[in-house]
Structure 1
Amino acid sequence: MPAFMVAVLYLYPSVAPAQSTTCSATTTGVSFGTYDPFASAPLDSTGSVSVTCSASTSYIVALSAGQGSFASRTMSSGAHLLAYNLYTDTLRTTVWGDGSGSTTTVPGSGTSASYTVYGRVPALQNAYVGAYSDSIIVTVSF
C-alpha cells in the first residue's frame, strides 16, 4: 500500500499596525506527515499562531485561503493537488478564514495569547506521490 508524503503547511504572519500599540505574530506550521490515500479516516494535524502586543488590546486573527478557496484549500506538488482545510475547533467544523462566506476569524485580547490551528486532509483522495505544500498568510488586525 503506497503512502504519500505531505509537506508542511507554512503560516506567514502579517500584522496590520495601529496607533501606539504594536502586535506581532509567530507561527508553527501544520505538518501533516505521511498521507495514505487508502486510509478511510482523514489525516489531522495542528499548528499554532501566537500573538504578542505591546499593550493590552483587542484584535482579530485571520487566515488567507492559500492556493485554493476557503471551501477547499489545496496543497500542491507540481501540477498535482491535495485538498485540505484549516479550522478553529477540535471537531474541525468551523473553517478559519477572513470572515467572508462561511468562514470565521478568531478574536483575541490582552498582551499575548496562542491559538491552535486545526488542519485536516480528507480521506480517500486520489493523490500522486510527492511533497505537497501551501502557504497561508496570517493577519492580525487591531
Structure 2
Amino acid sequence: MTRTVVCRRLWRVLAALILAMLPAAASACISCSCTTSASSLSFGTYDSVSALPRDASALVSIDCNGLVALLGVVEVRVGTGSSNNQLQRTMVQAATGLNYNLYADIARSQILGDGTGGTTTATASLNGLLTSSTVIPVFGRIPAGQWVGSGTYTDTVIITVQY
C-alpha cells in the first residue's frame, strides 16, 4: 500500500514539473524572431440574386527562427476593419456597404476577432527547435441576399500574431 501512495505522489510531482515546463498560452518562442504574412482574402464576384452565400479563405503564415518552445502556441487576432464591429464587418465602395465576416473554422460558426464579445481567436501549435513554421486558415463569408450596386468593395483588417 505504501508503494502505491509513493508512486502516485511521484507521478503528481512529475506531472507538475512537465506542466511547469510548458509555455504559456500564446507563447511559442524563447529568444527567437518570427516573420508573418497573410494572403489576400478575395471573394471574387458577388451575385446579389444568388440564394447562396459567397465564401473564400486566406492563410496566415508564421515562420520562426531561434529557440522555439516545444508545444508552443501562436495566436491570431483579427481587427474590426472599417465597420468597427467584430460581429458584423463591412466592405465598402463609396458610401455603400457589403456585409461579410471572418471565421476561425470552415463551418463558419466561430467569428474570428480578438476573443471578446462573442468572438474567438485562432491558435496553432508551433513546435520545433531552432526553426518552426505553421499556417492558420481564415475563412470568410458574404451572406446571401444583399442588394448592392456593382463595383469593387474592399475592407482592411489588422491581423495580430502573438507568439
Question: Shorter-chain TM-score: which interval?
Answer: 0.7 to 0.9
Number of residue pairs aligned between Structure 1 and Structure 2:
125
Task: Show the 5 A alignment for 1:121-132.
Answer: 121-132=142-153
Tell me the alpha carbon deviations over residues 19-57 of structure 1, each in whole angstroms, 9 at most, x when there is no partner: 722122111111101001000010001111011112424
Q: Among residues 75, 81, 87, which one is paired with 2:97 in the alignment?
A: 81
Answer 1 or 2: which has greater strand percent.
1
What residue is the counterpart of 1:65 in the other structure?
80
Distance in structure 2 (CA, Å) of the matches to 1:95 and 1:39? 23
Q: Indicate whether 1:29 and 2:50 are aligned.
A: no
Q: Shift in Å at residue 65 of structure 1?
A: 1.1
SS at match of 1:32: coil
Q: Which moved more, 1:35-44 or 1:103-112?
A: 103-112
On the 8 A contact 2:123/2:136 being kept in 1, the answer is no
Show structure 2 runs of 5+ residues with no match: 1-28, 127-131
Q: Give the superposition deviation at 1:60.
A: 1.1
SS of aligned partner of 2:43: strand
Hey, which of these two has a bigger chunk of helix by percent? 2
TM superposition score normalised by structure 1: 0.82
Counterpart amino acid of residue 64 in structure 1: G
- Report the residue type matching 1:117 in the other structure: V
Aligned to 1:109: 125
Q: CA RMSD in A?
A: 1.4
Moved over 6 A (4+): none
Distance of 1:61 and 1:21 partners within structure 2:
18
Partner residue, 1:119: 140
Structure showing greater Rg: 2
1:135 aligns with 2:151: no
Determine the structure 2 residue equivalent to 1:12. Answer: none
Structure-2 separation of matches of 1:60 and 1:93: 18
Conserved 8 A contact 2:74-2:161? yes
How many Å separate the matches in 1 of 2:125 and 2:64?
9
Q: Give the Cα–Cα distance (whole angstroms) in 2 for the partners of residues 109 and 93 of structure 1.
A: 22
Q: Secondary structure at the match of 1:67?
A: helix
Q: TM-score, normalised by structure 2?
A: 0.72
Counterpart residue type for residue 101 of structure 1: G
Gaps of 5+ in 1: 1-17
* Cα deviation digits, residues 96-126 of structure 1 (max 9, x gap): 1111111111122322111111100000001
Superimposed CA distance per residue, residues 50-93 of structure 1 (whole angstroms, 9 cap, x where no aligned partner) = 11112424321111111111111000011110000000111100
Residue 34 of structure 1 aligns to a residue in which SS?
Answer: coil
